[in-house]
Chain A
Amino acid sequence: MAETMKVKATKEQKYDRQLRLWGDHGQEALENAHVCLINASATGTEIMKNLVLPGIGAFTIVDGHSVSGEDVGNNFFLTKTCFGKNRAYAATELLQELNSDVSGNFVEESPEELLDNDPEFFQRFSMVIAVQLPESTLLKLSTILWNAGIPLLVCRTYGLVGYMRLLTKEHTVVESHPDNALEDLRLDKPFTSLKKHFQSFELENMDKKDHSHTPWIIVIAKYLEKWLSENNNHLPKLSKEKEAFKEQIRQGIRKSETGAPEVEENFEEAIKNVNTALNPTKISSEVESIFNDEQCCNLTTQTSSFWLLARAVKQFVENEGHGNLPVRGTIPDMIADSDKFIKLQNIYREKAKEDAAVVSNYVASLLQSVGRPSESISEQEIRLFCKNAAFLRVVRCRSLAEEYNAENVNKDEISSYMDNPDNEMVLYLMLRAVDRFYQQHGRYPVIIDKM
């Protein structure tokens, strides 16, 4: 569906604040999604509001209830004119009205009826959100969705207690946006072009301006060179070694005629960064397990792009990478003159490009081996994957059937939590008990206070 330039510009303006979080490709994924909400209770419509506003492609509400006075009282998306009407129909109106980019739909049937009469119904959705559903319905629903590979989010609210359970066999993430990611500087194992670049600098012979505007990465590299030759090629590891190394750098700060140290912020930055910059470059255990995962090792025509890309990167690691991931290609900002910084940055960028190109070749041959066209994974996707190789994540949940299976219950551990009334386990058990009560009595427990 082609969008006019004007529509696109307005959408960019409207979604600007969220595009800065998940980018245009993230927005596209959101707009290609069709989410199903079961039960337009206050909790349900609140969830939908937060999906409709950012522009989810489409939503469908499934609800067999009629709107009651209580419903209108606590639900922003139901009004007095809705009394007695089907709740799915009523809520869709006011949710749809929030955002004309979104397509809202409704089904005036209970999920139990649908599961009995048309179980395939739920397979058209990207994701299903089930609110305030009893255990038995949840089990039936989750089995169908589990087998179809469609994520299910179970939500419950009960007074001031809230509960969420994500059910997905597997969900892979490339851009996990970690908050405090370590930089990928390769100071412990500089690649050829980086080593050559370091060699082109001679700190001692530099004039004052150059000396104080040399990037700290280069400063550390030069002093590290000296340290390694004097310490049998052992990197400073223990804290006293790192302190000694920092002192050596500090001694390198130029002094004025009076002998007082000059202000050289780049050297101060170097000293500050010694602790993290000398951490050995290595692959995290999370990424290692991704490489060793069954999905990565055994590719089929059904294998998703994520696993195929992971396999390609693994091949890179085992060959050209010499045990390391493709170079990320980014460096943090630091005190330096523009020229030195840009040149250094470009060294890392070029290497990242080269590494990605090697990975790309592996991707092409893997695609061929599973009978997929070479265009099915774009260069952009490959570059993004390489840039985020250290941050890959795989989320796996166990099924609801497994959770509800009494045989899987860890009785001893659960009992040990019971002594502490503030523990979440107590809340979990209480909610399960409430569900069980509903199962047996067809209603929720009520204590009638004599007032």
Chain B
Amino acid sequence: MRWAPENMAEALEPEKKRRRIEELTDKMAVDGGCGDTGDWEGRWNHVKKFLERSGPFTHPDFEPSTESLGFLLNTCKILVLGAGGLGCELLKNLALSGFRQIDVIDMDTIDVSNLNRQFLFRPKDVGRPKAEVAAEFINSRIPGCNVTPHFKKIQDFDETFYKQFHIVVCGLDSIIARRWINGMLVSLLNYEDGALDPSSIIPLIDGGTEGFKGNARVILPGMTACIDCTLDLYPPQINFPMCTIASMPRLPEHCIEYVRVLQWPKEQPFGDGVTLDGDDPEHIQWVFHKALERGAQFKITGVTYRLTQGVVKRIIPAVASTNAVIAASCATEVFKLASSAYNPLNNYLVFNDVDGLYTYTFEAERKDNCFACSPVTQKLQFPSSAKLQDVLDFLKETSSLQMKTPAITTTMNGKNKTLYLQTISSIEERTRPNLSRTLKELGLTDGQELAVADVTTPQTVLFKLHFTS
């Protein structure tokens, strides 16, 4: 049988296409196949070839065994963070590689713009939680696979949850989230008499993509470079200077930012307290028109709806292929670590196919005094005449720390004292005067321990204050 049109016109003939799609979707409904865990002859032949044979490329300590498949199928628990571009690919790859006990966390719902790459979702799924739809699809398509979805934030879970997994693999879209899970896995490490207990290490495989670029890395917390060890690998977010936005726009982007940052809060166009929602087309339409007006005022061309949306939502371009490559790299590393059959990536892979195809791997180095994964207490060096604001600025601006809204507490006279906390307005108001006080005035002494909490880490970080004068 053949259905191969002679030319494009024939290929795209609407009537034929519609009939065929109707046929196919009817068939799909019948072939449900839910709740079926039966394996079939030859199902795992490809996977078995990796587990039951040695070869020139296998790990030197690898011993082929028929038991390994059972471990993957029945025992190994994998946690996937994110059910988006990378997440969908990861779930597919892991499920086909024999992993059946998979949990997936994603706090988002499906949007139309996801459909060009997040292939577990269909137009009818728009609005539903990604984790749930993804799990449904995989469990249905891959009989026996048991993906458990969690429509939650990663911060909603604590160490009792994370402890249960053998490997964590991420397809996250924020550096803060990456740092958080990194900190969580570091907090699960056990040190006995100063030596790291290897059984407490949960490997973290992290993938990231942006347009035609991507990277994949293997992190063994406590042993290899962690996310925070290499914070400087992440380019800083581009923010336009305020004077440019407010009085000297030159680019269409400046016009858009003006409306977003200054005009919207001032005019409250959709009601008091209604914040700009980048997913609301009416909001974007309003910003677009106002940005056009500002552009006209300064003779700046180039404001478009697409640009407006891109700037407001900080949109990062994305395609299916890059996500496929990076997720494949990550899933391969999960397989290697779970099976011990091959040498894992050591430890950072860079991929770029903007111009031809370029890929490079290198060993990212651990930082001795990494504030996230080094067991050594961090030092804060300031003159006693320095203000608390200086300490706050240091925590936010130092490239190795890059905290967002650090809250600083300490123990004084046996009691817990909050020096400054930004995220709760009543406490912020009460502690704000402390910012302009000197460390000496606040009663802090040389060697005092300060506890710092921040969104970038699940655990409070202890710093030892050291007066330089």
Contact = CB atoms under 8 A, between A and B. Distances in A.
Nearest to B356: A395
A173 to B, nearest CB: 9
Contact of A103 (B11, B44, B251, B298): B11
A160 B2 contact: no
Contacts of A49: 119, 320, 324
A197 interface: no
Q: Sorted from nearest, which 10 A-B pairs have the closest CB atoms?
A: A69-B42, A73-B43, A20-B317, A58-B11, A341-B250, A17-B318, A53-B320, A70-B42, A50-B321, A13-B112
Given A17-B113, A17-B117, A70-B45, A50 B320 contact: yes
Contact of B49 (A13, A159, A337, A338): A159
Given A19-B306, A70-B45, A338-B300, A106 B27 contact: no
A17 B354 contact: no
A445 to B, nearest CB: 12
Nearest to A343: B299
Contacts of B54: 449
Given A50-B324, A79-B141, A178-B355, A18 B53 contact: no
Given A57-B8, A338-B300, A160 B27 contact: no
Given A105-B3, A109-B2, A451-B52, A98 B21 contact: no
B123 to A, nearest CB: 8
Contact of A17 (B7, B300, B315): B315
A383 to B, nearest CB: 15
Interface in B186-226: 211-212
Interface string B1-25: 1111111100110100100110011
24 contacts: A16-B309, A16-B315, A17-B117, A17-B318, A18-B319, A20-B317, A21-B211, A42-B96, A50-B321, A54-B319, A58-B12, A70-B42, A73-B42, A73-B43, A73-B96, A76-B96, A80-B33, A93-B28, A178-B354, A334-B250, A338-B249, A339-B298, A449-B52, A451-B64
Interface string A150-168: 0000000001100000000
A105 B116 contact: no
Given A17-B315, A93-B28, 9 more contacts: A17-B113, A17-B317, A68-B42, A73-B47, A79-B141, A105-B11, A341-B250, A449-B53, A451-B66
Nearest to A338: B298
A108 interface: yes
Given A17-B317, A93-B24, A449-B52, A1 B12 contact: yes
A337 B248 contact: yes
Interface string A419-441: 00100000000000000000000
Interface string A52-91: 0111011010000000111011111001110100100100
Contact of B354 (A69, A179, A339): A179
Interface of B: 1-8, 11-12, 14, 17, 20-21, 24-25, 27-28, 31, 33, 36, 40-47, 49-50, 52-57, 64, 66, 92, 96, 112-113, 115-117, 119, 141-143, 211-212, 244, 248-251, 298-300, 306, 309-310, 315-321, 324, 332, 342, 354-355
Contacts of B55: 159
A34 B298 CA distance: 46
Contact of A20 (B141, B310, B324): B310
A198 interface: no
Interface string A94-106: 0011101001011
Interface of A: 1, 10, 13-21, 32, 34, 42, 46, 49-50, 53-55, 57-58, 60, 68-70, 72-76, 79-81, 83, 86, 89, 93, 96-98, 100, 103, 105-109, 121, 124, 159-160, 176-179, 213, 333-339, 341-342, 345, 421, 447, 449, 451
B298 to A, nearest CB: 5
A72 B144 CA distance: 13
Contacts of B41: 69
B40 A80 contact: yes
